[in-house]
A and B are shown apart, each in its own frame.
Chain A
Amino acid sequence: MKKLINNPLKCADELLEGLVEAYNGECRHVGTRSIVKNNIPEGKVSLLIGGGSGHEPIYHGLVGRNLADGAACGDIFAAPPPNIVLEATEAVNRGKGVLYLYGNYAGDVLNFDIGAELASDDDIEVRTVLIWDDVCSAPPTQKHNRRGIAGLVPIVKLVGAASQKLGTLAELEAVAKKAVLQTRSVGVSMSPGSIPATGKPTFNIDEDKIGLGMGIHGEPGVGEIPMATADDLTVMMLDLIFDDYEKDDEVAALASGDEILLVVNSLGATTMMELLIALRKAKAVLTERGIKTYDVLIGDFVTCQEMSGISFSITRLDDELKQYWDMPCQSVCYSKMEGHYGG
């Protein structure tokens, strides 16, 4: 694998230095490995995100205008340790408390929870909302055990916008819970990424197979299926999402007239050409069901180095979430103007 790096063990630190330069003064590096927005106003309820590095542009690329206030960054594919969570918490806190919003992985939960305990020793109020959008990682009855994947992008965007408008941590927590509850994703992988420090692939898969439900860390999927066409795979993946909304007692089935955000995400190596071919079919499937795409997010947002694969995420909007979606935002990972494409 030809990899454009320096010291394989310094990748996380060096990419963060580069990210700060990409932000060009909007954000700064804090402590061991945190990135924090400059000029967070006093009295703002703060939003802290984070997770392992190596999945750029998330999570630390979602710090920015009307997005997150800061990110606690782990090493490559590893949750940030508690001292990093604490340093980021202290840096974003403006006296109204801090909402932790991150993907549901054992390592992240353990470390953010210890970080929250340390923060409470400093009298900083912390609440946590976990992102668990990956429908293939647990059945609807156990959805709180699911992993967080590309659905995090619209979720962080919505909650970041809400954090500009809402005055209390409890209100922000409620919006975050709603955004998570209305978001579902399905991902597949066709070939692995590699671990920069070892150069080894994160998993093995046959040339003619697709890993269904593959995690963004390259965890083996819940099953392997034969390689398929873009159209067939798109239909299969969206059906899994539709089925999940239908089987989950806590949400309504996706119905004609519903308005959604649609994310078409590349895991790294899958090209925009392939994403667009898949989007074309996805749009046809949604239109047939009468589901309106309020906005489309397409590109590589949640990646695992040179892993090839694609994920679809759907977030159903109500009037409140739509109002937060309409707000503009700007960051290295995702930027938009006011309103929505075509609106």
Chain B
Amino acid sequence: MAKASLSVNEVRDMMLAAADRIIESEPILTDADRALGDGDHGVGMERGMNAVKEALAGKDFPSAGKVFVAVGTAMMSSMGGASGAIFGILFRSGGKAMGDATEFTAAGLASLLREGTDQVMTKGAKPGDKTMVDALFPAAEKAAEVSGEPITDALGAVAAAAAAGRDASENMIATMGRAKTLGENSLGKPDAGAVSVAIILAAMSDFAAGL
């Protein structure tokens, strides 16, 4: 059933569900990264999401944005690697951009993804470079389009946009990160970071839809 917004505790539980989904997906992420990188993305994401669970479970937060800031801090300080820093920047800057709102609406989702994506892109990646930005950027664009919709509908649309972005990354040549030295050999496989972004947004959407 469509819901206009989520409460702070629902946001927390949604991110706990996203953490569990990533932990379950470790083998998928490991395989995706082995094809193009050094194969440590799955383990790193698993470590980051275990830290997220520790930071969120049973805790109260003053705003929806603070939940995402806590997600980013936990990932940044536990994961290391490029992914830890980038996911940290995404959720910390995006969460701060949401202000003090205690309801998580489609407009809040749009702020989260716009600011988070912009800040990630200041580190050099742009759409088409075969990085997580290829899932994030279309998700942020879609979120802006649907910012007046109920949150459940908006999350569904955004998750679909991220999944399409992940699929599109298969046909890109890596120019950033460790896969960049592969050149055209990186064709045909999705970027592991884009896979992670798509999984997180899908889990968020599924959780909200089940409320």
- The chain A residues found within 8 Å of chain B, CB to CB, are 9, 52, 74-84, 105-107, 110-111, 114, 136-138, 145, 147, 195, 197-198, 200-203, 213, 215, 217-220, 222
Task: Please report whether the interface of chain B is mostly helix, strand, loop or mixed according to DSSP.
Answer: helix
A270 to B179, CA, bound (A): 25
Q: A222–B181 contact, CB under 8 A?
A: yes
* A-B Cβ contacts below 8 A, count: 114
The size of the chain B interface, using a CB distance under 8 A, is 35
List B contacts of A197 (CB < 8 A). 43
Q: B95 to chain A: closest CB distance in Å?
A: 17
From B39, B42, B178, residue with most partner A Cβ within 10 Å: B39
- Bound CA–CA A80/B85 (angstroms): 10
Q: Tell me if B80 and A107 are in contact (CB < 8 A).
A: yes
Could you list which residues of chain B lie within 8 angstroms of chain A, going by C-beta atoms? 26-27, 30, 34, 36-40, 42-44, 47, 76-86, 88, 123, 176-183, 185
A200-B85 CB under 8 A given contacts A79-B80, A105-B178: no
B38 to chain A: closest CB distance in Å? 4
Once the chains are docked, how many angstroms separate the CA of A114 from the CA of B72?
14
Cβ-defined contact, A220 with B80, below 8 A: no
- Contact between chains at A107 and B77 (CB < 8 Å): no
Residues of chain A within 8 A (CB-CB) of B181 are: 136-138, 147, 213, 215, 219, 222
Secondary structure of the A contact surface, majority rule: loop
Known pairs A75-B47, A138-B181, A220-B182; A81 contacts B38 (CB<8 A): no
**Nearest neighbor of B44 in chain A, beta-carbon distance:** A78
Interface pair A74/B80, CB less than 8 Å apart: yes
A74 partner residues in chain B, CB cutoff 8 A: 80-81
B183 nearest CB neighbor, chain A only:
A222
For the complex, what is the distance from the CA of A175 to the CA of B34, rounded to whole Å? 37
Q: A81–B178 contact, CB under 8 A?
A: no
Are A111 and B34 within 8 A (Cβ)?
A: no
Minimum-distance CB pairs A-B, first 4: A107-B82, A217-B38, A110-B85, A78-B81
- For the complex formed, measure the closest distance between the CB of A84 and the CB atoms of chain B, giving whole angstroms: 7
Q: Please, how many angstroms separate the alpha-carbon atoms of A76 and B88 in the complex?
A: 19
Q: Bound complex: CA of A30 vs CA of B179, how far in Å?
A: 33
Q: In whole angstroms, what is the CA distance A313 to B32 when docked?
A: 31
Kindly state the separation between the CA atoms of A84 and B30 in the bound complex, as whole angstroms: 24
B contact residues around A114 at 8 Å (CB): 76, 85
Contact B42 A198 (CB under 8 A): yes
Q: How far is the CB of B96 from chain A (nearest CB, A)?
A: 15
Q: Are A79 and B81 in contact (CB under 8 A)?
A: yes
Partner of B40 from A76, A80, A215 at Cβ < 8 Å: A76
Closest to B177 in A: A106
Q: Report the minimum CB–CB distance from A266 to chain B (whole Å).
A: 19
- Residue among B37, B178, B181 facing the most chain A CB atoms (10 A cut-off): B181
A197–B44 CA distance with the chains assembled, in angstroms = 10
Whole-angstrom distance between the alpha carbons of A152 and B86 in the complex?
Answer: 26
A115 to chain B, nearest CB (A): 10
Interface residue from A9, A83, A107 paired with B81 (Cβ < 8 Å): A107
> Least Cβ distance of B126 to chain A in Å?
14
Report the separation of the CA atoms of residues A282 and B80 in the bound assembly, to the nearest whole angstrom.
38
